[in-house]
Structure formats: structure tokens, C-alpha cells
Structure 1
């Protein structure tokens, strides 16, 4: 019997950085990569089990967190209750300034200042500020749904001289030229993508891909001592969200101390508005731990204690730390 290919959702269109991240993170698996027009559509496809996984950008090393992803994880209307993080992928991001085919055959030295509008995804502007301020100061910036969409707009524009910030991959796909390459502010500009699955999906319940964390439910095969040792050395990351009573002094401190009490190392904290009352927030805490017999149930114990000091809390998933593996 032929096994059906995995279905992997990502933010489209084709040739976006999300497409590249999905292709690279699932390169060892048999998978169909499915573009979606928005982050919420990709999330919904996993919740409805129309896709097995979704690859979604979470943060950039230069420009910080992707608020659209945090808003989806806030899940204020309980739309994505079965969607959890199961992995991560780090993609080194190199941006190009793309222009219409053959408009500047000699590259940036021949640029005559005629570009009137630039297109890209909102995250990309902050990653290329130095270049933009030097060559395109005052030029109108237009947000679009993805970097690849910007490249597509440039390829179809016939009347106006426009440009886009996107990848070489997008330039080749849409048939446009790179006026300049590697225009990002930092050479180590990297985007971390989170990989999501539906915790009730049978198709993914019995699989452990390279980016996923094995657990007591998915033990290492007997006799594979090298794999066992490597597994013990691997750091696990966990993402937890919670809300607190903002009127209670020390409420946030009490919540954060629980992570320390259970040996969980805090690596990042983010917030988004709760939308229940102005100036009240949902907190997102990412923590890590080295696998050991002693801390095997540390996350579960921390969650139990958090329920006593927060108004609500949610386990958003545990996965294998890929930092230092993919970069």
C-alpha cells in the first residue's frame, strides 16, 4: 500500500521565504507543499486536518517577533485549540532589491532613481533599513502579503517603475532581475519558523520527524545507545501562554518564578493585547531544558502550578531545539 504524502501548509504564494523554509524543513519527507493566502488560513487547515503540518514564521533575528503569529497563538476565540508547535526551522534570510527584467542590466551602479514604489512583506522593511535609507529614502513603501507577492507585482507592472524586496528564489520564479543582492542590514539575518500539527491527527501522531521531539510516548529503539545519548543531550523547548490578574501585585512575578522552581530556563517573553480589557495582556513564555529523568515531567508540573496563580494558561507545544543545527 502506498502511503499518502504529507500535506504541509505555508504562507504563499510560491517562492516566498515560507515556501523555502517548508521545502527545506521537509526535504527528507515525502510532502506536498500547499501555499495559503494568510497565516490564519494555514492555521485553520491544520485545525481542520486538511493539512498535516504548517510552517509559520515566528521571529526574525533583526526585526523581532511576527505579531500575526502571536495573535494566532493567542487564539482568543478558541479557533485553533488542537494546533500545537512540534518543531522549528532556522532560515538564513538574504534579501534582494528586485526590478523588472532588463530594466537595469548593469545593476545598482546604473540605477537612475526612477523607482517610485517598493513592495514587500512588513517584516522585510526593518531588515533592510540601511540599504533603503541610502538608495531609496523617501520612496513609497507598500506592504503586501509576502515577499514573493511583491516580486509578482513587479513582474506584472508595465507602466510604473517599481521594485520589491524578496529572495533570489522569488526573482527566478517570477522572471525579474536583482538590482542588488544581500541588502539585509546583518549577514546573520535569520528567521525562525515554527512547525505546527494537530495533536488529534492520526496521520502525524505516530511519526517523529527530524525537527520533532521524541517523548516517553515515542521511545528510542532498544539497543540504539548512540541515539539515546544524543537524545539526552538535546534541549527541549516549550511555549506556554498565560494571562494574569493585572490588579494583583506580583502576579506576573509569581508566574515567572514557577519556571525557575521547576528548572525551566526562560529564553523569551512576548505579549499581545488580551482584547478583553485595554492594557491587559496575554504573555508568551518560551523555556528550555536538557532532557533528564529528573525533569521529565517539569513542564506538566509547571503548568499545574501556573493554573493556581494565573487566570488561564495553555501549553502550546514542546519540540527539539534546532539552534546550532540549522544555522
Structure 2
């Protein structure tokens, strides 16, 4: 029997970058894309089983990690114990300066400093720093829940000459005017989204991969990195990534070094390390490590061995999921 439409949660409102990432990630599936007002609501929907998947921003190539996502993955109160990562999607992010339609018919030069307040998601400020420093130095900045929300506020507010940083998709959706496009500092500005699912409520049937539960209809991966390996150097063979969180006894000398050496001993390449406060004791942290596994048979159980060894030296440890590396994979068709 065919499955009913997938329910895919994303950080709303509609026309956010998360909406765009969800639409592109699941464009080869019959899916209902459902906006959620916060990161926590999207996580909770997956935990409850109300959503089959959630598409959540994790990091940006210009501005770094999304701390709201890290805090939810830290799961200090065990609210999302069944939520794991099963995939990733890279979205090239282009920002626009948007205003209420018709308010500046002469374009960017005609605004003449009259924009007194700007709205956007906190991540976008750092991605457009050079543009903002040139045109809007000293202008008040208001954080909002998403770039699309900023565009919506500007479109509806007739009492204030505000502007927002948002996508062209959001501007068109809310009926904004666009004063400037591609205002991001770097043309390769990219956000990586994690695709989450509930490990306890998996449905079986056509379209589901039984061992990793990675849906094979996810979109093709992002283009390969711009710089190719030097002549004579082999291509990277890493095909899977795993995200692990752990905490250590900070008073024990060498505790962090001992934990990290476990990954080296198992032949796992650490591709990123992040920290968030544990909130149990001041200046104590939860560590997040992302590691790559090569596809050779001898490394097949490397992650399991590393997790077992890590539990011997860490105060706590959690496997947050394994998925196909989209930067190194050619396609998800054969997952």
C-alpha cells in the first residue's frame, strides 16, 4: 500500500529560506510542507510523530553555526530523545534589501538615508556585513524569527520606513519591492540544513531505506567544492557523516584530549567541533563533533567502536545520527 503524503516541518513562516530548502530537498516526493513558528516547535513535531521529517538550518558558510539548533540537539531536558539526523541539504543563499512596494521608485540611491530600521533573522546580519556597513551604519537592527518574517513586517507597516534582508522568494511572496540583490558578502554564501526524523516512528514501505532510514528521493547533492584536489592527490572517499555530542569531567586533566583521540584511533576524520554551555555548571560545556567515515570494510563499525570507547571517558554521550555526505556523494539514488 502506498504511503500517504509525507509531513515535512520547516522553520516558518512561508517563504523563509527553510521553506525553500524543504521544497528543494523533497521536490522528488509527495510531501506537505508545514511551517512552524520556532526551531523548538519543529523539533517537537518530529518527536511527537506529527511530522515525518524536519528541515532545520545548522550552519552558514559565512556566519558559522546556528546556536538555536545546537541547543536543541543538546537536548538538556530530554525532550527530543528520539530525534536524529538522517540527511543534509546545502542551499546557496542570496539576500536582497526589500522594502514596502513602491516606497522607493528611484531604487537604492533614492532612499537617501530614510530607512530607519532593518529587520532580519540574526544569522543574516553577519552574512551581509559589508553592505550594511556601507549603506546602513548606525541604523537600528531588529532581530526577527526568520528573514521571511522581516519581509512580511516591512510589507504591512505603513507607518515606518523600514527595510528587511530577505530572499527574492520572500519578497515576491509578500509583495515587497527590492532595492538591491545579492547583498551577501560572499557569492558562495551557503547554508547547510539538517534533515531530522524520529527513530521510533519510522514507517516502512516504498521510498524508505531500511537500514539508515534515509529517503532516497531527497534531491541531488550540492555541487562539488570549487577547488579540486591537486594533481596526483586522491579524491576524498568519505561517504557518511555522523554527529555526536558528549560532555566530560572538566576537572580531569586531558579529558577532552582523550575523548578526541578516540576518533583518530578509529580512523574517523573530525570535520567540525562546536560547543554549547551545559547549563549544569558554569563554564562547563557540551561538545558536538561531526566526523566522516570512509566506505572501506575496516571502517564499517568505526563509529560504533568510537561511541563505545567515548562512553568510557565521557560523562555523557549521544549519537545524533549518521547520513550521506552531500558534498562528497554523487547522488542519493543508491543510498
User: Per the alignment, do residues 115 and 170 of structure 1 end up closer, same or farther by CA in structure 2, a change over 3 Å counting?
Assistant: same
User: Per the alignment, do residues 27 and 255 of structure 1 end up closer, same or farther by CA in structure 2, a change over 3 Å counting?
Assistant: same
How far apart in 2 are the matches of 1:37 and 1:261?
Answer: 42
Residue 87 of structure 1 deviates from its aligned partner by 0.2
C-alpha root-mean-square deviation of aligned residues, in Å? 2.0
Once the two structures are superposed, the pairs formed by residues 1-327 of structure 1 within 5 Å of their partners are 1=1, 3-203=3-203, 207-208=207-208, 215=211, 235-323=239-327
Q: SS at 1:202's partner residue?
A: coil
Q: SS at 2:304's partner residue?
A: helix
Contact 1:86 1:317 in 2 (8 A): yes
Unaligned runs of 5+ in 2: 217-235, 331-335
Contact 1:57 1:194 in 2 (8 A): yes
Unaligned runs of 5+ in 1: 221-231
Structure 1-normalised TM-score?
0.91
How far apart in 1 are the matches of 2:284 and 2:97?
Answer: 40
Residue 22 of structure 1 deviates from its aligned partner by 0.3
Contact 1:199 1:205 in 2 (8 A): no
User: Per the alignment, do residues 324 and 116 of structure 1 end up closer, same or farther by CA in structure 2, a change over 3 Å counting?
Assistant: farther
User: Per the alignment, do residues 206 and 46 of structure 1 end up closer, same or farther by CA in structure 2, a change over 3 Å counting?
Assistant: farther
Contact 1:88 1:319 in 2 (8 A): yes
Residues 253-295 of structure 1: CA deviation (Å, up to 9, x unaligned): 0000000000100000000000000000000000001212111
Aligned residues: 310
Residue 188 of structure 1 deviates from its aligned partner by 0.5
Structure 2-normalised TM-score?
0.89
How far apart in 1 are the matches of 2:45 and 2:211?
Answer: 26
Residues 97-152 of structure 1: CA deviation (Å, up to 9, x unaligned): 00010111232122221111000000000000100010011110000000000000
Q: SS at 2:298's partner residue?
A: coil
How far apart in 1 are the matches of 2:208 and 2:35?
Answer: 23
User: Per the alignment, do residues 38 and 204 of structure 1 end up closer, same or farther by CA in structure 2, a change over 3 Å counting?
Assistant: farther
Contact 1:197 1:204 in 2 (8 A): no
